Copies of this chain bind each other. A is one copy, B any other.
Amino acid sequence: MRWEVRVTVRLKEGLNDPEGRVIESALRNLGYAVENLKVPKYFEFELESDNPEREVEEMCRRLLANPVIHTYEYRIEKVS
């Protein structure tokens, strides 16, 4: 079966996020009252699988995220 998968990988709280700080500063310098800007990694893909939950969980742990510094979440929807 075919699935549409979206994975979001975030830095754990308290870890330094230089890209987020730079973009937040740039937006504030343009006059926008932005706070707590974060730049998670975001992946969208299609997956052919009989067990998408297990495979996506594996993909996150093996390649898409580093469990030491990241948290991750995913949404899996059947392709109609």
List chain A positions with a Cβ less than 8 A from chain B.
8, 23-24, 26-27, 30, 32-49, 55, 58-59, 62-64
Question: Which residue from B30, B37, B55 sits with its C-beta under 8 Å from A43?
Answer: B37
CA distance A24 to B34 in the complex (A): 34
Q: Which residues of B contact A36 (CB under 8 A)?
A: 44-46
Instruction: Indicate whether A32 sits within 8 Å of B44 (C-beta atoms), given known contacts A23-B63, A63-B23, A63-B26.
Output: no
Q: Which residues of B contact A30 (CB under 8 A)?
A: 59, 62-63
Select from chain B the residue with minimum beta-carbon distance to A35.
Answer: B46
Q: Which residues of B contact A48 (CB under 8 A)?
A: 33, 35
Q: Which residues of B contact A32 (CB under 8 A)?
A: 47, 49, 55, 58-59
